[in-house]
Amino acid sequence: MNEFTTACPRNCYSTCSFKVTLKDGQLTSIESHKDNLATTEGPCLKGLSYIERVYSPDRILYPLKKEVNGNFSRVSWEEAVSVISEKLISLKNDHGAKSVLYYCGSGTKGLLNSVSTNFWKLYGGCTTTYGDLCWPSGLEATRLMLGENKHNSPWDLENAGTIIFWGKNAAETNIHQMVFADRVKANDGKVIVIDPRRTQTSERADLLIQPRPGTDGALALAIANLIIEKKNTDEQFIRKYVHGYDEFREMVKKYDTELVSEITDVPPEYIVRVAEIISRKKPVTICGGFGMQRYSNSGQTMRAIISILAITGNIGKPGAGWQFANLQSHIFDEVKDPVASFPPEKESDGIRVSISTAELGKGILESKDPGLKMAWIERGNPVTQNPETHTVLEALRSLDLIIVVEQFMTDTAMEADIILPAKSMFEQSDVINAYWHPYIQLKQKVIDPPGEVKPESEIYYYLAKAIGLTDGELEGSIPLPGDGNIDNFLEEKLKPFPELSLNRLKAGPVIAPGTEDIAWKDLEFGTPSGKIELYSKETRKRWGLDELPVYTETIENIRRNSSPEYPLYMMTPNTKDRIHSQFNNIEMIKQVSPEPVAQINPDDASKRSIEHGDMIRLFNERGELKVRSVLDYSLKQGCVSLTNGWWIAQGGTVNFLSFGRETDMGHGAAFHENLVEIEKVE
C-alpha cells in the first residue's frame, strides 16, 4: 500500500490538497492533507468521487472517429494522428494557420497546459479566443481600483468582525471558507449574505439580503451613502490612501435609501442594517461571488462594492479586505490578469486572438481572412457552457473538422469528428497554483493511463512530429514522452524559485515565494495614483465607462424590457454537486443530483397553476427547456433558478436560453442576464 500527496486541478476556488492511497496498483482512498491550511477538512463529494471517475466504464479510453451514420468507432492512434496532421498541413497551405480554431476551457489547471499554446506557435499560429466565462469583469474592476488581484490569506478570514458573502454561496462552491466564517460567528462576529436565493450559506448567516438580480451596484452605493451620511468613514485612511473620494461622495448622494429600495426590492431597513453592521463590527471582509459579475453592468458593480471597503479603511489590515481573486501563487505567469488584459484582434507568434468567448458561436461564423475550417477543443465543453448553445452548435457544424480531447462523451465530444482520450489527474504529474489560497502544489502521477489514453503533452508531441517538426525544434516547448522528461520540463519551470522543487512538492503544498499574508499591508497600490481609485481615468479610457462606479440597469431586465412575455429572471448558479458540466455523469453524484430541476417561488408558480413536481417549460425567444419544478419560498419572487452544467443528454443546458453578450469591462460573459417565462407542460 502506497500513499501519495496530490492536489485537485479543477477550476475550483478551493484547489484542495489531499492524499491518495494505492493498493495493488489501484486507487483505494482519498483523504485530507493537513499541510494546506486552507483545505484541512478534506475534499468535497466531487473530490471523493475521483476514484469512480477514473475507473468509470463510460470513460473514453481509445481514439474515436465519427462514422457517416453519426456513430463513433475506435481507431488507432496512427490513423487519428494521420487524419489530423494531414488536415493541419493542407489547411495551412491552402488557407493559412489561422483557419484553425484552438479553444481551451479551464477544466484543468497546470503548467503543462502551456504545451498546447507552444504547439500552435510551432505550427505557425491559429485563431483563438479572448476574455473568459468565469471572472474577468471582477478581475478588471479589482485591478482598476486596487492595482492588482490579491487578498489576505484564507485563514486570516477568521480575524474578521464582519464577513459579507456578496453573491457567493460558499457553503457549496468554496466549502472550506465556511470553516473560517463559522469561527467568526463563534467569536460574536457577523455574517451577512447578499443573494436573491436563500442558500446553504445564508442558513448560517445573521442577515440575508435578497436584491433583484443585477442591482447589486445600486445596493452598494446606497450602503456607501449611508456610511458617509452617518460619518462612519475612516477619514484618515481616505486622506492618505484613497483617490477621488470627493467626487465619489457627491455621486453617491443620489443613491438615497428609499430610491435604491425601489430599484433593488430590498426594504430600506435592511439597507440601513447592513451599513450599521459594517460601521460597528470591524474589521470587514467582503467575499465577492463570480455569478454576480456575469451581468452587463458587473464591472462597475464590483467597483461599487469595493468602494465600501475603501471608505471604511477595511483594506491592508488583518481580517479586512476584498476576497475575490488571490493571484499571488501565479508566479509562473508573465501577466497576472491575462484574461482581463487581452484586447480583441491581438496577434502574437501567428496566433490571432479575435473571438470573444462570450460570443463564441457568432465569432466562429463571422471569422474571415481566413474563415475557420477546423476546431481543436480541449479542457472545455463549450456546447454546454458557452452562451447561446444553438449558435455554438451551428458554428461547430459549419466546420470541416472538429477535434475534441475528452474523458467522457460530453455534448461537445458528440459534435467531434475525432475524439482523443484525455488523461485523469492521477496519470501525469504537473504543478498547479490556485486563486484563493497561496500554495504551489504538485499534482503527482500515481497510476498509468488506462487503455490507450495519452497525456495531452504526448498527443501534441506525436502530432508535432507528424507535421514535420524535429525534436530539436520542440526542445523547451513540447517535452518528449516519458515521466522523466515531464519531470525535467517541470523542474525547468521551477528553477527561478529556489524554494520549490518536485521533491519538496511531493511532501506537500508550499506557499508561493513572495506571498503577503495581509494583502496591501504596506498600503501601496499599483494604480496610476498609487492609491485606491474610486475615480479612475483608466476606466473611461479603456472601457468607455464613467470614472466613478455609477450604477446602470442591466441590458436585459423586467424594468427596461417590461414585456409580459418574459417576466422572470432566470438564475443559473453553480452547485456543490458539479464543477460546471463536470462530474454529473458519475454515479456517486447522480445519487444526490439525478435530474435538472427548476426552483420557483410558490407565488409565481400559483399564478401559472404549477404545482411541486410538475414538468414545466422554461422559454424565451432564444430557446426552451423542459424540467421538473421545485416550489421553494427561499427563492426571491420573480426569479426561477436552474443550476448550470447539465448536458443536453441529461435534460438540457441552460445556455439554450442565454444570450452571448460581454460584460461592461474585462471581456467577460454576461450570460446570467436572461428573462424567461414558465408554463406547465400538460
Full set of structural domains in the chain with CATH: 64-131+342-511 (3.40.50.740), 137-328 (3.40.228.10), 568-680 (2.40.40.20)
Helix/strand/coil for 113: helix
d(CA 165, CA 154): 14
Interstrand relation of 126-130 and 351-356 (parallel, antiparallel or unpaired): parallel
Q: DSSP code of 347? A: E
pLDDT at 599: 96
pLDDT score at 123: 97
- DSSP lists the bridge partners of residue 676 as 568
* pLDDT exceeds 80 at position 562: no
Contact indicator for 142, 466 with CB cutoff of 8 Å: no
The identity of residue 79, as a single letter, is E
How large is the average pLDDT for residues 339-357? 74
Nearest residue to 237 (alpha-carbon basis) of 315, 324, 151: 315
State the average pLDDT over residues 358-387. Answer: 96
**Does pLDDT of 662 surpass 70?**
yes
Query: Is residue 560's pLDDT more than 80?
Result: no
CA dist., res. 227 & res. 249, Å (int)? 10
Report how far residue 294's alpha carbon sits from residue 668's, in angstroms, rounded to the nearest whole number: 7
Q: Please report the pLDDT score of residue 339 as a whole number.
A: 47
User: What span, in angstroms and rounded, lies between the C-alpha atoms of 623 and 536?
Assistant: 40
User: C-alpha grid cell for residue 467?
Assistant: 507535421
Q: What is the enclosing helix (H) or strand (E) of 401? A: strand 401-406
Q: Tens of pLDDT along 572-602? A: 999 888 888 888 899 999 898 899 999 999 9
Q: Are strands 207-209 and 190-194 parallel, antiparallel or unpaired?
A: parallel
Over residues 101-143, the pLDDT tens digits come to 999 998 788 999 999 999 999 999 999 999 999 899 999 999 9
pLDDT in tens, 526-559: 999 999 999 999 999 999 999 999 999 999 988 7
Angle, vertex CA 36, rays to CA 34 and CA 42, nearest 5: 60
Q: How confident is the model at residue 577, as a pLDDT?
A: 87
**For the chain, first and last CA: distance in Å?**
57
Distance, in Å, from the CA atom of 592 to the CA atom of 365, rounded to the nearest integer, reads: 39
* pLDDT (mean) for 374-383: 96
Contact 549, 245 (CB under 8 A): no
Residue 65 reports pLDDT greater than 80: yes
Confidence grade of residue 496 (pLDDT, cut at 50, 70, 90) = very high
pLDDT tens per residue across span 211-268: 999 999 999 999 999 999 999 999 999 999 999 999 999 999 999 999 999 999 999 9
Q: Is pLDDT above 50 for 514? A: yes
Distance of CA 363 to the CA centre of its chain: 21
- Length of the chain counted residue by residue: 682
The pLDDT confidence band at residue 1, using thresholds 50, 70 and 90, is: confident
DSSP structure class, residue 669: B
pLDDT attached to residue 547: 98
The C-alpha cell of 378 is what?
480541449
Helices (runs of H) and strands (runs of E) counted in the chain: 25, 28
Is 378 strand, coil or helix? strand
pLDDT at 336 over 60: no
**Is residue 340 over pLDDT 50?**
no
Please work out, in degrees rounded to the nearest 5, the angle formed at the alpha carbon of residue 680 by the alpha carbons of 675 and 682. Answer: 145
pTM of the predicted protein model: 0.95
Cβ partners under 8 Å of residue 243, min gap 6: 527, 529, 531, 532, 533, 534, 535
Collapsed DSSP state (helix, strand, coil) of residue 638: coil
User: Is beta strand 615-620 parallel, antiparallel or unpaired with respect to 639-641?
Assistant: unpaired
Percent of the chain with pLDDT over 70: 98
Q: What's the rounded Cα separation, in Å, for the pair 553 and 217?
A: 9
431 vs 490: CA distance, rounded Å: 7
Coil, helix or strand at residue 274: helix
Strand partners, 130: 356
* pLDDT, tens only, 303-322: 999 999 999 999 999 999 99
